[in-house]
């Protein structure tokens, strides 16, 4: 089972998206119940996955004498006890996960009381076996399938892994990166190894970019190709993207004038900010930026312009330059009061937007081109 994917589904973002779909009347209103379940599961996962002493989500902070964890775990245990799990045929079944959760949470309550007598804080993610799994995944990916190595093979492989490719995890691994880092990069001893590392994908870096492009997918699914009319779901996604890029822009240049122009002063709940509102955590001001009205409108126009030109451009060369030329014509009058940074901001937003959209479009087109049968199922005569 791929735990990483399960954690992505049972997340705050999916809950926010479900809430949005219910609000937009795209799905039935009882979707709210699923959203509530996901939100609770997200909190639960967070409490047993704290990695740092301080974090903007209180559940992800380390467990201390005054932290919320024990309280939450107690609530969760009584909630989990009420679960009734059914098989695909509708029969009530005893699922090991239910007892597993209760056991885990009770253990955490006990162990945290014990450990906090001697220690100031506890990081709960250090209790899981991701570290072990990641180590073995590095060994597995050396030299093909090694499900049953003998002791000599294993010793040889682990030496090789430690020296040449110090705990670089397999791309198809099941669990999250355990956040451990290496003090010395042994890979520099071997050119072939460096090449291998450079070629291997790094999931962690792509993470943020992906979370944005995943959201565009839903926007895309709503638009028939060539049809540039926006609906409320797409508007919400664009508003989220505009906020995301505003945050990125301000992190490189914290100009107050720019901030006034691109970030909304008050967070006004509007037709296009429902998703942002759901996405925002209730109890902490997350890093989420709400775009100013003008910036939102600007991104709507960029999107419109991009979509209407995509079919013309995508088979041609220098597609990026072509888009840049076209998108530069989109009106940026709202920056006229701050002419010093007008061009800089415009170039940043256009270039980020193009990168994201091209990546997303290629991903979608690849999906369409992928044959919808599995080679494994083919029979050879
Ligand atoms: Zn500025």
Q: What distance in angstroms lies between residue 255's CA and the mean position of ligand 1's atoms?
A: 5
Q: What distance in angstroms lies between residue 340's CA and the mean position of ligand 1's atoms?
A: 7
Task: Assess contact for 13 and 22: CB atoms under 8 A.
Answer: no
Q: What distance in angstroms lies between residue 302's CA and the mean position of ligand 1's atoms?
A: 21
pLDDT, average across residues 311-322:
85
Confidence of residue 31 (pLDDT cuts 50, 70, 90): very high
Kindly state whether residue 336 falls inside one of the protein's structural domains: yes
- Reported as a single tens digit per residue, the pLDDT across 346-380 is 999 999 999 999 888 888 888 888 776 555 555 44
Residue 183 is part of which domain span? Answer: 130-170+178-199
- Reported as a single tens digit per residue, the pLDDT across 157-183 is 777 776 655 444 444 555 555 555 544
pLDDT at residue 354, as a whole number: 93
Q: Do 138 and 252 fall into the same domain?
A: no
Kindly state whether residue 112 falls inside one of the protein's structural domains: yes
User: Is the pTM above the cut of 0.85?
Assistant: no
Q: Do 119 and 195 fall into the same domain?
A: no
Q: What distance in angstroms lies between residue 229's CA and the mean position of ligand 1's atoms?
A: 32
Q: How many whole angstroms separate alpha carbon 321 and alpha carbon 164? A: 41
Q: What distance in angstroms lies between residue 305's CA and the mean position of ligand 1's atoms?
A: 25
Q: Do 310 and 336 fall into the same domain?
A: yes
Q: Do 261 and 300 fall into the same domain?
A: yes
Q: Do 237 and 123 fall into the same domain?
A: no
Q: How many domains does the chain have?
A: 3
- Reported as a single tens digit per residue, the pLDDT across 217-253 is 333 333 333 334 456 778 888 888 999 999 999 988 7
Count how many residues are written for the chain. Answer: 381
Q: Do 9 and 111 fall into the same domain?
A: yes
Kindly state whether residue 283 falls inside one of the protein's structural domains: yes
Q: Do 347 and 315 fall into the same domain?
A: yes
Q: How many whole angstroms separate alpha carbon 41 and alpha carbon 35? A: 10
Q: Do 16 and 108 fall into the same domain?
A: yes
Taking every pair of Cα atoms in the chain, the longest distance, rounded to a whole number of angstroms, is 72
Q: Do 122 and 158 fall into the same domain?
A: no
Residues of the chain with pLDDT > 90, as a percent, come to 35
Kindly state whether residue 322 falls inside one of the protein's structural domains: yes
Q: Do 123 and 140 fall into the same domain?
A: no
Kindly state whether residue 375 falls inside one of the protein's structural domains: no
In this predicted structure, which of 10-19, 24-33, 145-154, 164-173 has the lowest mean pLDDT? 164-173
Q: What distance in angstroms lies between residue 341's CA and the mean position of ligand 1's atoms?
A: 5
Q: Do 134 and 62 fall into the same domain?
A: no
Residue 277 predicted with pLDDT over 80:
no
Task: Assess contact for 47 and 70: CB atoms under 8 A.
Answer: no
* Contact residues for 136 (Cβ-Cβ < 8 A; gap 6+): none
Q: Do 266 and 354 fall into the same domain?
A: yes
- Reported as a single tens digit per residue, the pLDDT across 121-168 is 999 988 888 777 777 777 776 656 666 778 877 777 777 776 655 444
In this predicted structure, which of 11-15, 202-206, 376-380 has the lowest mean pLDDT? 202-206
């Amino acid at each position: 089972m791929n735990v990483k994917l399960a954690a992505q589904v049972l997340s705050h973002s999916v809950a926010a998206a479900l809430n949005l779909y219910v609000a937009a009347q795209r799905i039935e209103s009882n979707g709210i119940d699923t959203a509530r379940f996901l939100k609770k599961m997200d909190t639960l996962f967070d409490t047993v996955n704290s990695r740092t002493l301080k974090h903007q989500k209180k559940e992800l902070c380390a467990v201390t004498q005054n932290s919320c964890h024990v309280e939450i775990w107690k609530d969760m245990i009584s909630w989990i006890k009420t679960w009734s799990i059914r098989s695909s045929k509708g029969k009530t079944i005893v699922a090991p996960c239910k007892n597993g959760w209760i056991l885990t949470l009770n253990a955490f309550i006990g162990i945290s009381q014990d450990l906090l007598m001697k220690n100031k804080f506890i990081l709960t993610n250090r209790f899981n076996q991701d570290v072990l799994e990641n180590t073995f995944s590095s060994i597995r990916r050396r030299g093909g399938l090694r499900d049953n190595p003998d002791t000599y093979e294993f010793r040889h492989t682990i030496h090789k892994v430690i020296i040449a490719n110090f705990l670089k995890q397999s791309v198809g691994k099941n669990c999250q990166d355990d956040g451990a880092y290496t003090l010395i990069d042994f890979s520099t001893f071997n050119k072939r190894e460096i090449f291998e590392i450079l070629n291997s994908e790094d999931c962690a870096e792509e993470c943020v970019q992906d979370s944005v492009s995943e959201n565009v997918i839903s926007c895309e699914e709503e638009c028939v190709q060539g049809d540039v009319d926006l609906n409320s779901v797409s508007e919400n996604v664009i508003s989220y993207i505009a906020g995301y890029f505003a945050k990125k822009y301000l992190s490189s240049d914290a100009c107050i004038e720019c901030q006034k122009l691109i970030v909304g002063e008050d967070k006004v709940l509007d037709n296009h900010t429902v998703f942002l509102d759901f996405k925002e955590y209730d109890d902490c001001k997350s890093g989420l930026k709400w775009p100013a009205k003008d910036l939102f409108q600007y991104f709507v126009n960029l999107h419109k312009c991009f979509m209407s030109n995509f079919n013309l451009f995508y088979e041609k060369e220098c597609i990026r330059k072509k888009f840049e030329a076209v998108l530069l014509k989109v009106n940026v009058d709202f920056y006229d009061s701050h002419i010093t940074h007008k061009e800089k901001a415009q170039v940043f937003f256009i270039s980020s937007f193009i990168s994201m959209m091209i990546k997303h479009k290629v991903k979608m087109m690849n999906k369409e081109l992928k044959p919808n049968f599995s080679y494994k199922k083919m029979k050879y005569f």
